[in-house]
Amino acid sequence: MGAPCIHCEARPAADGLGLCADCNSRRETRVLYRRRRGWTPEWEAHLRRLTRRAQLRLPLFDEADQPA
């Protein structure tokens, strides 16, 4: 099974946005996940890492990530 839908997390993602077919069929949901102007793949990966850490109830940033 592939990665879950980034919106509902109930079904597997079925498109490049990471949405399942049901979520992708709703325009208002698609608009939320379209690539924003200026967002790089690295930035999106960073946001996904933060989301995953939040789901696991881990601190969002390690001490090494904090400014001195």
Q: Indicate the pLDDT class of residue 1, thresholds 50, 70 and 90.
A: low
| Bridge partners of residue 4, in order along the sequence | 12
Residue 4 CB neighbour total at 10 angstroms:
14
Structure tokens at 35: 């690539």
User: Looking at the predicted structure, is the pLDDT value of residue 63 above 80?
Assistant: no
**Is the model's pTM score more than 0.85?**
no
User: Looking at the predicted structure, is the pLDDT value of residue 22 above 90?
Assistant: yes
Q: What is the pLDDT of residue 34?
A: 76
